Chain A
């Protein structure tokens, strides 16, 4: 049962092959017996899950089951879940029990989903390796000495290890796509504004976007249908109809125009990964697509622009964690300043502090024009690159990451090297465009991700392209050798 996709499990529940309670118990038992090796969960919500599973079974017995009723999944620990610790993988929120559900969580609950728990992540989603978690790093099931990527590393590891069929993630600069690539699963970052951010703890508000992580594009389509849509509680959420993403999965790719940005195949890229990506592209040609080289000339601006804008927003988003109303408070503060300094000094980890300092600096009087304003200008140039390119091609393809999963500890001493992990992913967040990562090969036994980028609100097209690829290939069905039945 653990090797089934959401779509297969939905079929089994509908056919009465097993109940949601049986399915949930099986997942919980796998998490309990195996997650010590992956550390992919921060909190397992056994009671909640069993209750939801029973309710789902009753609903099904009453003939009121929907597509998602009784399907188990996990939420990244960045989403507020009522009555459950929502830590953001930070000491700052280790004691924080959310008093409300994020809109995305509520939507899954209303659809009848079963919440197995909250997955590990980089602290406040700041990182590309899951090593900044207060709860220790999550490990890559393909090689537990390696990182699963980040920040949604726990979600990716749990799916790759077949502990859960699917999980939610968030992507600010690649935090869904990069761990999906490193763990050999499928992840989608939707268009900015497609999914509500209400109840999702903010890292960089203008870049953050929640999305589905699963084994297949077909499952991602099922999840996105639940997640997407307007939310009056989020002013940046776009009021636009949500299509039936599953309906167009099998559309023909005949005549699909694929662009390959030459900048994404330059020096930084591991040649073995380049080869796998090229192989994938040839697969699309067999499916009737046409391929051409394109240029995204401002690609080099993405990393510097991102590492101004994201920390700038983060530096003020994280001001609310001050030890006054909730979260970590230092012992015996002598005065207000001491309360602030020690609560924040002790509550936040190094990477979070680094970004708060960078962001504070970038917004400071006298530096704002040189950094923040310039970065916003670069952001517009990057966006224009994509708009121009997407007027000539339907989708853009390239590698998700320049390297496969690296070893735990390998890049922690050099933040800039860590930041370069995201060179192919974070431009999309700056542009607000949707992107996917799907498994497209392996390098030395480690998965490689193909990134597929589409136009605004073209999630259905991305899922269609990814699904047809997965119909023609079997990279997405391959499991790490380490996992046990």
Chain B
């Protein structure tokens, strides 16, 4: 089975893998740690202040399960689409 969206063909295994990763991440979201990561902890321990933002990132997610889930879903779709479009176009031309 292949899902066709315009020139893009997505095989069944890829769709299943996408959904499986999304479900596993959604299950883990309530248990995710809000503690600083390794770099943030190092900076925190050394008293390095957070740098000022140089631009306003367009997407802001977090604070609730639904917001995090939406963030993961959107990010996954964007990553998948960017990787796909970028390479499917020259392959199709070839």
A and B found bound together:
no
Q: Which residues of B contact A (CB under 8 A)?
A: none
